[in-house]
Structure 1
Amino acid sequence: MLFFRLAMMLAGLLLGYSAGRVLAVSGAPETATLNTVSLMLAGMLTALLLAPRAEKSVGRFYAGGKGWYERLSPTTVAAATFGLIVALLVSVLLGSLLRALPIYSWLLSVIITVVLAAFFMTFAIRNADAFGALAFPQVRRKPGGKILDSNVIIDGRLVDLVRAGFIEGELIVPAFILRELQTLSDNADPQKRTRGKRGLTVLEQLREVRAIRIEDWDDPHLPTTDDKLIRLARETGAKLLTNDGNLRKVAKLHDLTVLSLHEAAVALKPQVQAGDNLTITITKSGQQSGQGVGYLEDGTMVVVEDGLKFRGKPTRVTVVNNVQTNVGRMIFAKLDREEVVA
């Protein structure tokens, strides 16, 4: 930051000049000019040496302040401003009443104003939903509303869930999500273009089943779509409906309610218990010698002991163990007595 270093050098020059003028009062007049120039140069060089360290400290402070500013909610700022206005009005009224007292002074007036400001601003921020709505009436809190992101729209399963009545409340599609789908549908990449067109088609199908509200809200200061979704959810009190695992984790850190279709699908998978019989087709070998691997219709991996010899054939197996891992469920099985199903 060249400007910052130049400012530091200018500050060093000014400090050196001030110190030189102070010494000129008590020192010899014939050396006053030389002393002043020397102190100015010393101050400038000292500032130049300290500039890199100061630049790092200022950079960290700036980054922290920027992050704090980006996390600020508009309703919180509006509520704090409202609380400060009330505090100033009340302090003026109290000042008029206390002016006749012998103990009254400007210092007492300042203390009263600071105490009132701290009280009313804190109270207003804690109730930002009510006070912030005075400045932002367009941001409405509708309990039960669900904000859709692009992933869950493109997924397509939402239409069937809404049609079956499992998704209640108002469905909200932010305008920036709609623009993102439109941009994808116009993309030169065939895969992205297909995803974008599928998302727009899903929205058309969804509108036939349930009314959709397009939220004409955006914040150009937020860099990513995920940041905008989190901010909008905080402002409206709505729930986030997504399949994005990273977005879900970040939203949870902001104390937001997140609904994941992927987690719901995993929870609804049929549970297989030890001793149950399954019929699967061995498609490949396992990690150990003789092991065969097949898959259920929902994609669950089934590892069959000594099942490789039946590769490519429908095989009846008995479940031995059912293990839940980070990547999903795994079923360990052994060959049934009947072995191959005709």
Structure 2
Amino acid sequence: MARKIIRVIGTLFGTVLGVYLFVLILPFITVFLVIPRGVYFTPVSMGYYAIGGLLFGFILYLLTPIFIDIFMHVVGWADSKLKMVPTQDIALVAFTMIITLLIGLLLSYPIYRIPVIGIFISPILTLFLAFIGVRFVLSRKEEFTFVSTLFNRGARSGGAENEVFKILDTSAIIDGRIVDICKTGFMEGVIVVANFVLEELRHIADSPDLLKRNRGRRGLDVLNKIQKEMDIPVQIYEGDFEDINEVDSKLVKLAKTISGKIITNDFNLNKVCELQGVAVLNINELANAVKPVVLPGEEMAVQIIKDGKEAGQGVAYLDDGTMIVVEGGRRFIGETIEVLVTSVLQTAAGRMIFAKPKKDAEKYSGVK
């Protein structure tokens, strides 16, 4: 409906424009027409005005949908770009523009009064000062803490939370568990996928190595699922940091730029983020945190899969992948037995449970 209304308005505008243009050019073409010079409202001239109005009205009628599509495309592009910019930066730029334009107007007023060249130099000087001011504050935006403080107070007083950007790295995408996390509804904010991460995934997917190729294609499938099947918004960051070569360093820079958090499985990237003060969400740490708690003395049924490193040990696994080392369990390989947990060891790589067969525990404790 809105498109039809705009199209009608465009047609009317074209009609008026056509009549106006023909009124302007009629004095120059009266020598070729049967119209007395200086008389512009004869039946013949009115006919020419009507032709001009109909011609331009028809042209605008045809072109208005194209203009609408171009306008909507530009608005959509600008909206997607602005969503990637922190609100503090937008406010800081707007504030700087107002101040620098006012200063520019004051300084350029004397220049404006210079004959001939003043009218050209004055606006150029004003725009130049605005440009320099914006570049200056953006290069030192970390020092303008009053803007962040102002917005944080506003958020607290209004009871609303600021939108948080969650930046996916390559390892988290290929891992695939991010899809399950999104399904649970615990993931909030906007998921950001950088274009240079997509390029790395495409490069891996085109690798001659079969394993790498499968990993890359899995990562692309995961992104496709997140974008099409999840309710959480996904944004593609088109920018790039050409002065930085490594993808991990680019992710850290991006996180600082948009005040986002990096989602990763990469231990080294995790440490780099911590050193540089960038918030990081490690999926492995989340997985360890939500594993069921096992306490010494608990009983469980496990299947001994293989022998352990030490003599007589057997190894079993829980459904979540937690390894259980069973003392004296080697003789039960291939069997499902009852074990008694003796201790739990938490390491950076995950959790390890030590246990012994229940029969042996009862035997040593004297229980019959």
TM-score norm. by structure 2 comes to 0.54
The equivalent of 2:78 in structure 1 is: none
The equivalent of 2:144 in structure 1 is: 127
CA separation of 1:294 and 1:178: change in aligned 2, threshold 3 A: same
Shift of 1:163: 1.8
Given the alignment, which residue of 241, 254, 277 partners 1:232? 254
What residue ranges of structure 2 are gaps of 5+ in the alignment?
A: 1-88, 108-135, 149-161, 362-368
What SS does the aligned partner of 1:143 have? coil
Tell me the amino acid that sits aligned with residue 168 of structure 1. E
Q: How does 1:191-270 map to 2 (within 5 A)?
A: 191-208=211-228, 209-210=230-231, 211-270=233-292
Given the alignment, which residue of 187, 194, 210 partners 1:190? 210
The equivalent of 1:160 in structure 2 is: 180
Verify the 8 A CA contact 1:273 1:321 in the aligned structure 2. Answer: yes
The equivalent of 1:20 in structure 2 is: none
Root-mean-square deviation (Å): 3.2
Q: Which runs of 4+ in 1 moved over 4 A?
A: 120-125, 128-131
What residue ranges of structure 1 are gaps of 5+ in the alignment?
A: 1-74, 94-119, 132-141
Verify the 8 A CA contact 2:261 2:278 in the aligned structure 1. Answer: yes
Distance 1:124 1:288 in 2: 58
Verify the 8 A CA contact 1:316 1:338 in the aligned structure 2. Answer: no
Aligned residue pairs total 221
The one-character-per-residue Cα deviations of 1:104-129 (angstroms, maximum 9, x if unpaired) are xxxxxxxxxxxxxxxx9898651179
Distance 2:283 2:141 in 1: 36
TM-score norm. by structure 1 comes to 0.58
The equivalent of 1:64 in structure 2 is: none
Shift of 1:184: 1.7
Verify the 8 A CA contact 1:143 1:238 in the aligned structure 2. Answer: no
Identity over the aligned pairs, expressed in percent? 41
Distance 2:222 2:355 in 1: 40
Shift of 1:153: 1.1
The equivalent of 1:295 in structure 2 is: 317
Distance 1:335 1:124 in 2: 62
Given the alignment, which residue of 309, 317, 333 partners 2:331? 309
Tell me the amino acid that sits aligned with residue 253 of structure 2. R
Tell me the amino acid that sits aligned with residue 274 of structure 2. K
CA separation of 1:287 and 1:163: change in aligned 2, threshold 3 A: closer
What SS does the aligned partner of 2:358 have? strand
Shift of 1:183: 1.7
CA separation of 1:188 and 1:126: change in aligned 2, threshold 3 A: same
CA separation of 1:223 and 1:123: change in aligned 2, threshold 3 A: closer
Verify the 8 A CA contact 2:288 2:351 in the aligned structure 1. Answer: no
Structure 1 residue 144 corresponds to structure 2 residue 164: yes
Shift of 1:338: 9.3
